[in-house]
Chain A
Amino acid sequence: MSLLQVNNLSIAFGGLRAVDDFNLEIEKGELYGLIGPNGAGKTTVFNLLTGVYKPNEGIIRLDGEDITRKNTIEINHAGIARTFQNIRLFHQMSVIDNVKVGLTERFKYSGLEGVLHIGRYHSMEKAMDEEAMKLLKVFDLDMERDTLASNLPYGKQRKLEIARAMATSPKLLLLDEPAAGMNPNETAELMDTIALVRKEFDMTILLIEHDMKLVSGICEKLTVLNFGRVLKQGETKAVLSDLEVIAAYLGG
């Protein structure tokens, strides 16, 4: 059974069919690329997968469970975490607290224990700190644990966003143009980080990317989207060699 199975997904905004009859299957452990020109509907697919938009048609299944009608919060609890094309951090909070927000649902104690700092408060906070530091180390952010998120350089903000998403312990990680706005060095480093996340956590990743070259290096499979419709889907090599795709890129 595939980890993610999307069938006939469609949504229209007014007259615009932003995503039209979209199908996708991702196996456990895969690193999957979703590519296409600007405005093709890639981010809209993410917003459908995470319940930000409700589809007009179609079914989304995660690990066999129908999550089509669930809201964003429930979908996160079901196991999908994401990052955003335009970074969305908790900018007035420290780096470690950003990650600890992601841990909220995994390390529980009551509100009363929290307000009085009694009971499970201390042990749970300690466990959260340890778990958060483990994640920050993977992303090479452990030295910045007490820095305000807004004071991080751009590349590290992107990494922190991934670390926060990983903190919710997802089954599927959605990355929306993680390399956007990065210089070649930062991009290369990010690709290493993504590879590391995949290995370390055995993570299944769906990655949106605008830059085809970048995606061809790390993704096993690709889906190419154009004007909301799937143009091509399959093994990376096969997809890339398809002239139709290249034409769409050049033309789009």
Chain B
Amino acid sequence: MTSKKKRIKDNLITYGIVIALYIVMEILLKTGNLSSHLKGLLVPMTYYAIIAVALNLCVGILGELSIGHCGFMCIGAFASAIFSKLTADTLPDGIRLFIAFIIGIAVAALFGFLIGIPVLRLKGDYLAIVTLAFGEIIKNVINAVYMGVDSKGVHFSLNNVMDLGMEPDGQVIINGAMGITGTPRTANFTIAIVVLLLSLFVVLNLMNSRDGRAIMAVRDNSIAAEASGINVTGYKMMAFTISAAIAGAAGVLFSHNITSLTATSQYFGYNASIMILVYVVLGGIGNIRGSVIAAAILYLLPEMLRGLNTYRMLIYSIVLIVMMLFNWAPAAIEWREKVVNRFVKRNA
């Protein structure tokens, strides 16, 4: 079997896993077998899978370590939430959410591009530290901003709502650290899964294209890539921008799954970014399918183990170690390949 066929099959397996997960969850939902607690975890699980895919594009495919990716998610969340709040009464839900996605993705991509210009000149540890700083800056700036809209236009302040000096018809959009309240909750599990599938489609197709190969060439040896006529800076910017854009899409899901959006450390700080990085590393660097699976398991697990308070972190740690072995131990890799080959052969 040619590698091309194998690649197509591999990709279909990845989409299949996501669709199977969706169907199982939907059946459980429809038959009332899902606790309301678990129900509430479905959309977050999916957007964490999406941002893990985005980060793997940056870390695994481009080979640049970023620990500020939740900053892009934060930007996507706020940019889209501002739009949705402004148009809450004027646009129908579907169209509003669709445009919100475009805005969240575009603004996150723009920031990815702008931040990429200085950041991608750096290498290794420096890049990691600067992305971390940018992530924190984004979060802290949003926390400090007050924004309002009235008949005269848009007002900003860094002090308080009074300082916006709005007309009586004014509406507060971002209330400093209180964030944005009253955004319509229009995202749901189905939409989240569709966005995950689209993100996978973009990343997996990119990897099997001319641009994707150039990006991986930059990762493997940038000096040889340049000597082969590859525009190293350009391809780094491309991968970083697409990665930020996908993280932005995860942000749109985030802000449209809650009614009150705040730029807290819990969701947008470096801790959160590192948690996503854990998903990527344990799922396998450069292994897009692994990121989805790791994000789903590692996000759901601690939540589902809440009942077993004492043992919760113990079990979580053991799962981390098992996943690490499964992904990186040579024997496990060999075994996995055997299983996949058997599976693929049977279907070929």
Contact = CB atoms under 8 A, between A and B. Distances in A.
Asked if A pairs with B, the answer is yes
Contacts of A108: 210
Interface string B287-325: 000000000000000000000000000000000000000
A92 B220 CA distance: 7
Interface stretch (B129-137, B149-157, B226-234): B226-234
A180 interface: no
B286 A93 contact: no
A120 B229 CA distance: 21
B216 A92 contact: yes
The residue among A81, A88, A100, A107 with the most chain B CB atoms within 10 A of its own CB is: A88
B238 A111 contact: yes
Interface stretch (B23-31, B39-47, B159-167, B201-209): B201-209
Given A101-B230, A111-B211, A90 B224 contact: yes
A114 B227 contact: no
A94 B201 CA distance: 22
Interface string A62-100: 000000000011001100011010001111111011001
Contacts of A145: 3
Given A92-B220, A114-B209, A114-B212, A81 B286 contact: no
Contacts, number: 100
B197 interface: no
Interface residues of B, number: 29
B226 A72 contact: yes
Given A111-B211, A121-B209, A73 B226 contact: yes
Give chain B's interface secondary structure class.
Answer: helix
A168 B206 CA distance: 22
Contact of B210 (A93, A109, A164, A167): A109
A104 B234 CA distance: 14
Given A114-B206, A115-B205, A93 B228 contact: no
B205 A88 contact: no
Interface in A110-155: 111, 114-117, 121, 124-125, 128, 145-146
Contacts of A27: none
B229 A77 contact: yes
Contacts of A168: 228-229
A91 B228 CA distance: 15
Interface residues of A, number: 41
Given A107-B210, A114-B212, A115-B202, A90 B217 contact: yes
A107 B214 CA distance: 13
Given A101-B230, A105-B229, A93 B220 contact: yes
A101 B206 contact: no
B185 interface: no
A50 interface: yes
B209 A115 contact: yes
The residue among B202, B209, B210, B231 with the most chain A CB atoms within 10 A of its own CB is: B210
Given A104-B210, A117-B205, A94 B229 contact: no
Contacts of A167: 228
A131 B106 CA distance: 37
Contact of A115 (B206, B224, B229, B232): B206
Given A73-B230, A90-B224, 16 more contacts: A73-B232, A76-B228, A84-B227, A89-B224, A90-B217, A92-B219, A92-B220, A93-B220, A97-B216, A104-B214, A104-B229, A115-B205, A115-B206, A125-B210, A128-B210, A165-B228
14 contacts: A73-B232, A76-B226, A88-B221, A90-B225, A92-B219, A93-B217, A93-B220, A96-B3, A97-B213, A102-B229, A108-B210, A109-B210, A111-B211, A168-B228
